[in-house]
Amino acid sequence: MDIINMVLGIPLGFAVHFAYQITNSYGLAIFIFATLVRIAVFPVNILTHRNSIKLLQMQPALNTIKRRYSGDKERLNEEQYHLFKKEKYSPYLSLIPLFLQLVIIMGVLQVMYNPMQHILRLDQGVIDAMISAGRELLGLQGGSGDQMRIIEALRQPENMQAFQTALTGFPDSAGILQQTAGMNLHFLGFNLGEVPSLAAPTAALIVPLMSGVSALVYCLTQSALSPGALSQSKRTGYVLTIVTIAFSLYFALVTPVGFGMYWTAANLLSTGVVLILFLLYNPKKLAGEALAQIIAARKTTSELREERKRKSALSVREKRDAARFQYAKKQLVFYALSGGQYKYYKNVIGYLLEHSDITVHYLTNDPVDSLFKMDNERLIPYYASQKKTISLMLKLDTDVFVTTVQGLQKYHLKRSVVRDDIEYIYMSHGMGSAHLAGRVDAIDCYDTIFCPGPHRVAEVRRREEMAGLPRKKLVKAGYGLHDQLAASYSRLPQIANGKTQVLIAPSWQEANILELCVDDILDALLGQGYIIIVRPHPQFTDMFPERMEALKSQYAEYTHEGELVFELDFSSNESLFMSDIVITDWSNIAIEFSFCTLKPSIFINTPMKIMNPDYEQFGLEAMEISLRDKIGVSVDLAEINSINKIITRLLNEKDAFKENIEQAMQQCLYHPGRSGEAGGKYIMKQLVNKQRGEM
């Protein structure tokens, strides 16, 4: 006996047999069975429906997580897992109905193809004997529809003798034949054992059409009422509808009419289930706010069309640039995830272009990177997506590779498989401590680290000791962004502000000032005679534009009077340089401000951004923690109402803070003003040594 028939056909066959015994109608038995199945799985439908509503309710939080951790898949998955656990949502629960549907389909097909076994409950020996007789009489080939053909044949009196002979020796053979011949496979004018055929059209072709129409009704109802469909895009809904209808039509065409009848009934009953669940747990009421956000965020047809055009154009451009990059003769490659990373490379690349004949090949994942507008034949930019970057890195052929991207050998950035002598250099994109703000193994696989200051040297060496890693080359490179800011500040006229200017410049991390306490800060400062500028992190405005719009609307009265400014144009650092005080949380902007202007900063003690929860095992105090009370003051959330007094004290003690800041800068930064030279000379030296074969 076939394993599927034994495991699935027999138990489901009992249910159909029970319905057949009550009605003595094969067609009615099918409809009763379909109803019993829907009743049996209804508790599961309730669970999955409520689970889907939870997912719908979580969509705003999920969108926030996706936007906040879009470049960190590991952290994104981790945050999603914690959210699912908190809300008791299971992403796998929705698979249960699909699994049950598949199991039931396989079982029902076994019942349909084997009615003598499952509905009439005949002994297997009897069935085998009758099939053997059918081979001679009807030319049966051992196919899946043999039992249905025998039932139809027994309705013809001239065939009865052959089967009587076949059942000689079986008890009550006459009763068996009478029972089998008495099973009527016809219902509503259809032969339920017939398989519809396009080659020889009959009325049976109506059943696949019924199946398709019922699938359409089900899909339309589900699209309008079910929580899962409500959160989908229209395009996804159309695709699923087409697939479902095609599936229903196909199965009803290649299986007996009885299965098509079952499938039609199942679709209509499922439609009823969707309606009942909607009445019991209305997602439009239970997750109305989330639905409103989803609908508001949906793109229009024209926007989707333009997006497809852009993707198509980018794909063509990527192929061209990837080919150019792969076949170019390269000594030195810089790699950036985004256009914003060029500022970290700018000083070093500028020094190389001015003091050598080296050609810099610059690979970026940003198609609108500012480098594409630069005109320098020795600075060659290439565009490639992160996905394409994987293959380009594996086939990389260069002498030196420089990047600010962490996680070499961890994610999409892999060492070359065609060359094992490439020097991989990590250049910091912040002055802060790597063992706090980065994952513990983030820079383990680099050969060389460009260190902004002594703290980075200590952190790398300590990590090597703790993990037993080979010693890296540590270059006292300084921090290029500081040099750029300091140079820009030195060129500005030093004019005192008429009113004290306060710059609120938070980070974009979770629980930053704008999410946690900006209202408290503004309440304490507005009306005190300050000019207040709120300058969010660019990444925060990209991720949460609705938050910025809400703040602008909330404080419209003060912005009209000029007391409060929301600065969303990040092309200039004038507001940073001209401010008297910067208020931040854990952003490096305060360190950059104080080191450039020698003015103090205020640090709000929001929850600290910790990428390495075991950072204390290093036994090294993180720079961003130790500096807070050297170049300014740190303020607890409970002390924000006193921030006006704190600003007054800092301004009165600005000369003392100036000395502290100068001392801290000398201790924390290598080569202030000369980072480009330090990094550029090292790279030039390494390339010369490569050419001489000394490495």
Q: What are phi and psi of 465, to 5 degrees?
A: -65, -45
DSSP state for residue 332 in the 8-state scheme: E
Instruction: Give pLDDT, residue 71.
Output: 64
- Joined together, the tokens standing for residue 233 give 């895009």
Instruction: Give pLDDT, residue 604.
Output: 96
Instruction: Give pLDDT, residue 680.
Output: 97
Question: Do 657 and 489 contact (CB within 8 A), yes or no?
Answer: no
Q: Looking at 95-104, 233-242, 247-256, which range is the least confident one?
A: 233-242
* pLDDT tens readout for residues 572-607: 888 898 999 999 999 989 999 999 999 999 999 999
| Predicted TM-score of the model (pTM) | 0.74
Residue 411 has pLDDT above 80, yes or no: no
Instruction: Give pLDDT, residue 695.
Output: 55
* pLDDT tens readout for residues 663-678: 999 999 999 999 999 9
Helix (H) or strand (E) holding 590: helix 589-597
Residue 557 has pLDDT above 80, yes or no: yes
Q: How far is CA 140 from CA 131, 191, 257, 271, in A?
A: 8, 19, 20, 40
Tell me where in the chain the CATH 3.40.50.11720 domain(s) lie: 307-479+677-692
* pLDDT tens readout for residues 251-268: 899 999 999 999 999 999
Contacts of 630 (CB under 8 A, 6+ apart): 660, 661, 664
* Distance separating alpha carbons of residues 647 and 499, to the nearest angstrom: 13
Q: How far is CA 270 from CA 29, 252, 327, 398, in A?
A: 18, 17, 58, 61
Question: Do 577 and 492 contact (CB within 8 A), yes or no?
Answer: yes
User: Which of 419, 547, 518 has the alpha carbon at shortest distance from 67?
Assistant: 547
* Distance separating alpha carbons of residues 598 and 655, to the nearest angstrom: 9
Tell me where in the chain the CATH 3.40.50.2000 domain(s) lie: 493-668
Q: Which amino acid, one-letter code, is at 664?
A: A
Confidence of residue 160 (pLDDT cuts 50, 70, 90): confident
Q: What is the mean pLDDT of the chain?
A: 90
* Distance separating alpha carbons of residues 639 and 234, to the nearest angstrom: 50
Long-range contacts of 49-53 (CB under 8 A, 24+ apart): 49/226, 49/227, 49/277, 49/281, 50/281, 51/89, 51/90, 51/93, 51/94, 52/94, 52/226, 52/227, 52/228, 52/283, 53/227, 53/281, 53/283, 53/286, 53/287
Confidence of residue 453 (pLDDT cuts 50, 70, 90): very high
Q: How far is CA 341 from CA 66, 334, 365, 366, in A?
A: 21, 10, 11, 10
Long-range contacts of 61-68 (CB under 8 A, 24+ apart): 63/293, 63/297, 64/543, 64/544, 67/542, 67/543, 67/544, 68/508, 68/510, 68/543
User: Which of 473, 471, 435 has the alpha carbon at shortest distance from 451?
Assistant: 473
Residue 1 has pLDDT above 60, yes or no: no
307-479+677-692 CATH choice from 2.40.160.60, 3.40.50.11720, 3.40.50.2300, 3.40.50.1820: 3.40.50.11720
Strand, coil or helix: 77: helix
Instruction: Give pLDDT, residue 694.
Output: 63
Pairing mode, strands 501-504 and 190-191: unpaired
* Distance separating alpha carbons of residues 47 and 49, to the nearest angstrom: 5
* Distance separating alpha carbons of residues 642 and 648, to the nearest angstrom: 10
Question: Do 422 and 400 contact (CB within 8 A), yes or no?
Answer: yes
Question: Residue 453's Cα: distance from chain center in Å?
Answer: 36
How much of the chain exceeds pLDDT 90, in percent?
56
Beta strands in 444-487 (DSSP E): 448-451, 473-476
Residue 496 has pLDDT above 60, yes or no: yes
User: Which of 675, 683, 665, 682 has the alpha carbon at shortest distance from 484?
Assistant: 675
* Distance separating alpha carbons of residues 253 and 23, to the nearest angstrom: 27
Q: What is the mean pLDDT of residues 634-639?
A: 95
DSSP secondary structure string for all residues of 604-657: E-PPP--S-TTGGGG----HHHHTTTTSEEEE-GGGGGGHHHHHHHHHHTHHHH
Partner residues linked to 186 by β-bridges: 191
Q: What is the mean pLDDT of residues 366-390?
A: 94
Question: Residue 563's Cα: distance from chain center in Å?
Answer: 41
* Distance separating alpha carbons of residues 262 and 41, to the nearest angstrom: 16
Q: What is the mean pLDDT of residues 11-38?
A: 91
Between the two ends of the chain, the Cα-to-Cα distance in Å is 71
Partner residues linked to 452 by β-bridges: none
Residue 68 has pLDDT above 90, yes or no: no
Pairing mode, strands 448-451 and 423-427: parallel
Helix (H) or strand (E) holding 454: helix 454-467
> Domain 493-668 class?
alpha beta
Question: Do 228 and 250 contact (CB within 8 A), yes or no?
Answer: no
* pLDDT tens readout for residues 422-443: 999 999 988 889 888 888 999 9
Q: For residue 344, is it left (φ>0), alpha (ψ between -120 and 50) or beta?
A: alpha
Helix (H) or strand (E) holding 477: none
Helix (H) or strand (E) holding 379: strand 379-383
Instruction: Give pLDDT, residue 640.
Output: 95
Question: Do 513 and 606 contact (CB within 8 A), yes or no?
Answer: yes
User: Which of 95, 153, 171, 1 has the alpha carbon at shortest distance from 13?
Assistant: 1
Instruction: Give pLDDT, residue 346.
Output: 96
Residue 148 has pLDDT above 60, yes or no: yes
Q: What is the mean pLDDT of residues 473-478?
A: 97
User: Which of 284, 286, 300, 297 has the alpha carbon at shortest distance from 230?
Assistant: 284
Partner residues linked to 361 by β-bridges: 333, 380
* pLDDT tens readout for residues 71-98: 667 778 888 888 889 989 998 888 898 8
Instruction: Give pLDDT, residue 138.
Output: 82
- Joined together, the tokens standing for residue 434 give 């790597």
Furthest-apart CA atoms within the chain: distance in Å: 118
